[in-house]
Amino acid sequence: MKALITGISGFAGSHLAEFLLNEQVEVFGLIRRRSPLHHLNSIQDSINLVEGDLQDSTSLRTILREAKPDWIFHLAAQSFVPTSWRAPADTINTNITGQVNLFEAVRDLSLSPTIQIACSSEEYGLVHPNETPIKEDNPLRPLSPYAVSKVAQDFLGYQYYQSYGMKIIRTRAFNHTGPRRGEEFVASAFARQIVNIERGAPAVIKVGNLDAERDFTDVRDVVSAYKVSVEKGKPGEVYNICTGTAISISTLLEKLIDLSSIKPEVIKDPDLDRPSDVPLLLGDCSKFKNQTSWEPKISLDQTLEDLLNWWRDQ
Give the span between the Cα atoms of 178 and 37, in whole angstroms.
18
Q: How far is the CB of 181 from ligand GDD (least distance, A)?
A: 8
Q: Is 143 in the site for ligand GDD (CB under 6 A)?
A: no
Q: Is 242 in the site for ligand GDD (CB under 6 A)?
A: no
Q: Is 87 in the site for ligand GDD (CB under 6 A)?
A: no
Q: What is the separation, in whole angstroms, between the first and last Cα of the chain?
A: 34
Which residues does 198 contact at the CB level (< 8 Å), separation at least 6?
Answer: 260, 261, 262, 312
Give the span between the Cα atoms of 39 and 125, in whole angstroms.
30
Q: Is 160 in the site for ligand GDD (CB under 6 A)?
A: no
Nearer to ligand GDD, 51 or 184 (CB): 184
Q: Is 99 in the site for ligand GDD (CB under 6 A)?
A: no
Which residues does 186 contact at the CB level (< 8 Å), separation at least 6?
Answer: 208, 214, 249, 252
Which residues does 201 contact at the CB level (< 8 Å), separation at least 6?
Answer: 193
- The closest of 203, 189, 177, 296 to 241, measured between CA atoms, is 296
Q: Is 241 in the site for ligand GDD (CB under 6 A)?
A: no
Residue by residue, DSSP assigns 48-69 as: EEEE--TT-HHHHHHHHHHH--
Which residues does 87 contact at the CB level (< 8 Å), separation at least 6?
Answer: 78
Q: Is 230 in the site for ligand GDD (CB under 6 A)?
A: no
Q: Is 121 in the site for ligand GDD (CB under 6 A)?
A: yes
Give the span between the Cα atoms of 26 and 29, in whole angstroms.
10
Q: How many CB atoms lie within 10 A of CB 6?
A: 26
Nearer to ligand GDD, 135 or 274 (CB): 274
Q: How far is the CB of 68 from ligand GDD (least distance, A)?
A: 30
Q: Is 78 in the site for ligand GDD (CB under 6 A)?
A: no
Q: Is 174 in the site for ligand GDD (CB under 6 A)?
A: yes
Give the span between the Cα atoms of 58 and 101, in whole angstroms.
10
User: What is the DSSP code (8-state) at residue 212?
Assistant: -
Distances (CA, A) of 37 to 13, 16, 41, 43, 122: 11, 14, 7, 10, 27
Nearer to ligand GDD, 67 or 147 (CB): 147
Q: How far is the CB of 220 from ligand GDD (least distance, A)?
A: 15
The residue from 212, 219, 228, 230 that contacts ligand GDD (CB under 6 A) is: 212
Nearer to ligand GDD, 172 or 227 (CB): 172
Nearer to ligand GDD, 67 or 191 (CB): 191
Q: How far is the CB of 99 from ligand GDD (least distance, A)?
A: 14
The residue from 159, 209, 248, 260 that contacts ligand GDD (CB under 6 A) is: 209
Q: Is 122 in the site for ligand GDD (CB under 6 A)?
A: yes
Interface with ligand GDD by CB under 6 A: which range of 58-66, 185-193, 216-224, 286-294? 185-193
Q: Is 282 in the site for ligand GDD (CB under 6 A)?
A: no
Q: Is 189 in the site for ligand GDD (CB under 6 A)?
A: yes
Reduced to 3 DSSP states, what percent helix, strand and coil does the chain have, rounded to the nearest 5?
45, 20, 35
Task: State how far Cα 12 lies from the chain centre.
Answer: 6
Q: Is 238 in the site for ligand GDD (CB under 6 A)?
A: no
The residue from 9, 91, 101, 120 that contacts ligand GDD (CB under 6 A) is: 120
**Binding residues for ligand GDD, per CB under 6 A?**
79, 81, 120-122, 174-175, 184-186, 189, 207-210, 212, 214, 249, 272, 274, 277, 281
